Amino acid sequence: MSKASFVVRRLLQLGVTFWAVGTVLFFLFRLMPGDPTAFVVSAQMTPEARQQVIESYGLNEPLYIQYVRFLENALTLNFGQSFHTNQPVREVIWTYLPNTLVLMLSAFVVAYILGIVLGVLTGWYRGSRFEKTTVVTALTARSLPTFYVGLIVLWLFGAGLGVIPMSGMGTAGQSYDSFWARIFTLDFLHHLVAPAAVLAFYYMGYPLLIMRSSMMEVLSQDFIDVCRAKGLSERAIMFKHAARNALLPIITAAAIALGYAVGGSVLIETVFGWPGLGREMVNAVLRRDFPVAQGTFMVLAATIIILNFIADLLYGYLDPRVTYD
Amino acid sequence: MTNKATTNRRSFLNKAGATAGLVGLTMTAGCFGAGDDDENGGANVEATDPDMLDEQLPTYQFLNNAQSYNPPRHDAINLMADQFGRIGLDMEVEVLEWGTLFNRVDVEYDYDFSLWHTFFTIDPVLELNSTMYSENTEPGQGNFAGYENPDADDLMDQYLEEPDADTRIDLVHDLQRTLMEDLPQMPVIDMPFLAVYNNEQVDNWEADLPHGFNSYWTMINLEMQGGEDTLKGYWPEALDTMNVLGHNDENKHTYNFVVIYDTLVRLDNEGEIDTDVSLATDYERVDATTMEYTIRDHTFHDGEPLTVEDIAFSYNYISENEVPVYSVQSNFIDEAEVVDDSTVRIHMPDDNPLGPFNLLVGTQIPILPEHRWADRDEPSQVNVEEPVGSGPLQFDYWDQGAELGLERFDDHFAPVDFEQRFWRIIPETSTVWENLRNGDLNYEPFGRIDRPLDENRDEDQISVQSVPATSFWHCTPNQRSDGLDDPEVRKAVFNAVPRSAIVDQILFGVPDPGFNVVTEAFGPLHTDDVTQYEEGVDIAIERLQDGGYGYDENGMLHFLVE
């Protein structure tokens, strides 16, 4: 199969996957117990006013009509209007997504750089005390609940030493004209450090362990002996030849992790008072704000699916032995 | 749970008359049905002659919220169901998420017992009318208890139409006596308004009737301390909207809109209309269906003058557009009419005059700038980014999901003492308390009664002020269920509610046990002269035996053969 055919076939599969995800989300939320209007109506409203609210959200329509309308709108990336904020879902997502991305990407970049470097070193120095200590640390970081680590960090460095802020993305009482105006400030970086570090500590273990295993496999191959026979330095063998070849599995792992990163980390966002998409997604589900819940989950699913697709394409580019059968 | 706590609870329940063996609070805080094990099920009482016993009372479902949603209420319901089991009722506790719970009770009426926390607005009868009026018993109409009493209906009708305040007081006192004798709702706890604040930065907290410590009255009377010029609060969840006509009446919204927008009249902390802090400098009832207001010179936050046209527009616009959050008030607005440059008249429908118009409508309808709203067709659906009102605080910024900033409106006729007020969204309770202690926050608008409050209230820089509020926890039996339609059963159930134990063990002794559906926060509208119900399982059992019920050998309650 040619590369073009592969791409076309995968794009068709993507379309079917999006439809399936959208359908499952639509019906899943409506199968959940609870009345979505319970959070919107007020005890002060008359029964007529309550009915008016229900009708304004289209919830009085039969389910199949709601479903058809949802599909029609989804084709144009219109996920409707939030039951709670009356904003288009796109706006809600754009309000919270950048906050999440800047936190998650910061953590992600730090975690993957550290994870890859430490993975290379632990693979290279396997059996050493350094390897054992690093692996145990990575496994511990991966096993500890992030909210617990977050609370400890807040307690120690926030309440105790007073070197990190207790919550939010900036000092309270300050406003900024735009997201970009905010994130290029020292105040923002000060607020970013703790949640990003906690997340990086957690995420670091995954690339580290994958890279270590991959390095061990690569180091057992003949070309490493050839490199040594050619008189290359150990550092050159480690980073130029072994590490490069060991990187391939990291790509898939990174693509999936990056996809999840879009969904944010609900617990870290809650502990550090970070107004991100993860917290908003959970709130939307808990408050039965169907349009926002559907929209955010669709964005999350789409990101993961598309990044996987890109990872598949990159595989072929980075390793010519990979075919598109 | 420690032995000490279990022992304390034991002594409380014994004091309340619980005679059977007790399980620890840890167990009651779980999700078991009170009738599910031998220790809980049945009264410790001598069995009635089996020949006299008819059918056992049905199994009753007490619907409970999840522990994570509202821990104290969750624990209280389990405790109450446990006690109801001890008077011979077969109880099941069903834990539901909030949306389902609300639907089952308030919409479908598919429940036997519920425990609600109800906030009354400034007049109790309108609320009681919604939940107690005999004609409101169809699903979705509000009377979820299914209570029907023509005498109570008549008192409510008279009250709502009565223009004379003194006569209204007599009527509402009669209504309280009627309701507390019939017990369609059992007032379990009188929940207070709480002001929790950092006394090194702010002081002089005074509550008013409708909004407690988050009122306009509070804001204009606050005194900043130690050179602080910012009032710093928090809320655990994001605000939904800046649209004063598009919110769902949750406190997190009303507490902000009440200071951004003026209303025709405002109340002082005694619940009386204070024209010094109101848009209207004078008012009078022209006839049974017409109110007339004289308006002061004032401007909106954007500098445009606030005119009588704006006031007439606000009333007509909200009424004509059937804005859901003001649907109750709209029922009492026929038309607003400009009389002259400083006078406006509000006409009520001829067939629906309202006695306490100022309380129920005049203090509630926000005055909108016509030049901003006139072109908006669906006011409740509008996405307002920068609200413009005329209140003592004006919009500064809204970092959605993170923070709302308001600043002092210097041209207001009753300005506040601080320059800025912000609310930061902080979901994590321990962070809130750390911030309160160190001064990064200086007040807690939420007033939540929980363990961190109990642990921190003795700190030097933390002050906690508590005043009676217009809200209460009420246990409401569904009177469509067999047995619960009998007032004697309801009274016995109320006797069995361990109100003191709930206050002391679950709510850290902060609120008071409830005894009336109209709390003392309502001042002259409230009366102590209602039937009082002593706490105690033994008293409840005796009442049931006297009231025509008997017990089988397992201690379960039966109807008697007629």
On whether any CB of chain B is under 8 Å from the CB of A97, the answer is no
> Which of B17-26, B256-265, B363-372, B536-545 is least confident?
B17-26
Highest mean pLDDT among A140-144, B58-62, B203-207, B218-222: B58-62
Is residue B105's pLDDT more than 80? yes
Domain ranges of chain A: 89-318
**Binning pLDDT at 50, 70 and 90, where does residue A247 land?**
confident
Q: What share of chain A has pLDDT > 70, as a percent?
A: 95
What's the CATH code, domain B3-190+468-560? 3.10.105
Is residue A47's pLDDT more than 80? no
> Which of A284-293, B216-225, B227-236, B396-405 is least confident?
A284-293
On whether the CB atoms of residues A300 and A262 are closer than 8 A, the answer is yes
Distance from CA of B249 to the nearest CA of A (A): 6
Highest mean pLDDT among A32-46, A88-102, B362-376: B362-376
Is residue A92's pLDDT more than 80? yes
> pLDDT for A154-183, tens place per residue?
999 988 888 999 889 988 888 888 888 888
Average pLDDT across chain A, whole number: 86
> pLDDT for B414-453, tens place per residue?
999 999 999 999 988 888 999 999 999 999 988 888 888 9
On whether the CB atoms of residues A48 and B136 are closer than 8 A, the answer is no
> pLDDT for B120-163, tens place per residue?
877 889 889 888 999 988 877 789 999 999 999 999 999 998 98
Place of tokens 């703790």: A194
Residue of B nearest to A162 (CA): B438
Angle at B82 between CA B79 and CA B86, to 5 degrees: 135
On whether any CB of chain B is under 8 Å from the CB of A173, the answer is yes
Q: Read off the tokens for A69.
A: 């309308």
Q: Does domain B200-460 have CATH number 1.10.150.120?
A: no
Q: Are B249 and A48 in contact (CB < 8 Å)?
A: no
Is residue B205's pLDDT more than 60? yes
Average pLDDT across chain B, whole number: 88
What pLDDT is recorded for position B12?
41
How buried is B53 (Cβ within 10 angstroms: 0-12 exposed, 13-18 middle, 19+ buried)?
Answer: buried
What letter represents residue B334's amino acid? Answer: D
- The rounded distance, in Å, linking the Cα atoms of A131 and A48 is 69
E-state strands within B363-402: 393-399
- The rounded distance, in Å, linking the Cα atoms of A41 and B324 is 8
Distance from CA of A257 to the nearest CA of B (A): 25
**Binning pLDDT at 50, 70 and 90, where does residue B5 land?**
very low
What pLDDT is recorded for position B132?
93
- The rounded distance, in Å, linking the Cα atoms of B479 and B486 is 8
Domain ranges of chain B: 3-190+468-560, 200-460
Q: What share of chain B has pLDDT > 90, as a percent?
A: 68
Q: Are A279 and B401 in contact (CB < 8 Å)?
A: yes
Q: Which of residues 107-136 of B touch A (CB under 8 A)?
A: 107, 118-119, 121, 127, 130
Residue of A nearest to B431 (CA): A166
Q: Are A85 and B241 in contact (CB < 8 Å)?
A: yes
**Binning pLDDT at 50, 70 and 90, where does residue B34 land?**
very low
Q: Domain A89-318 is of which CATH architecture? A: Orthogonal Bundle (1.10)
- The rounded distance, in Å, linking the Cα atoms of B249 and B403 is 19
Closest by Cβ to A38, choosing from B99, B232, B427: B99
Interface test with B, best of A45, A59, A95, A192 (most B CBs within 10 A): A45
**Binning pLDDT at 50, 70 and 90, where does residue B307 land?**
very high
What pLDDT is recorded for position B346?
97
**Binning pLDDT at 50, 70 and 90, where does residue B290 land?**
very high
> pLDDT for B35-80, tens place per residue?
344 445 688 888 999 999 999 999 999 999 988 788 899 999 999 9
Contacting residues of A for B230, CB less than 8 Å apart: 173
pTM above the 0.95 mark? no
Closest by Cβ to B431, choosing from A47, A86, A167: A167
Is residue B14's pLDDT more than 60? no
Is residue A95's pLDDT more than 80? yes
What pLDDT is recorded for position B297?
96
What pLDDT is recorded for position B41?
67
> pLDDT for B163-186, tens place per residue?
898 999 999 999 999 999 999 999
Is residue A42's pLDDT more than 80? no
What pLDDT is recorded for position B309?
97
- Residue A223's CB: how many other CB atoms inside 10 A? 12
What pLDDT is recorded for position A1?
64
Q: Average pLDDT of B77-106? A: 91
Is residue B17's pLDDT more than 70? no
On whether the CB atoms of residues B557 and B493 are closer than 8 A, the answer is no
Contacting residues of B for A154, CB less than 8 Å apart: 430-431, 434
Distance from CA of A195 to the nearest CA of B (A): 14
Residue of A nearest to B250 (CA): A42
Beta B202-203 vs B223-224: how paired, if at all?
A: antiparallel
What pLDDT is recorded for position B178?
97
Q: Are B435 and A166 in contact (CB < 8 Å)?
A: yes
Closest by Cβ to B428, choosing from A43, A56, A270: A270
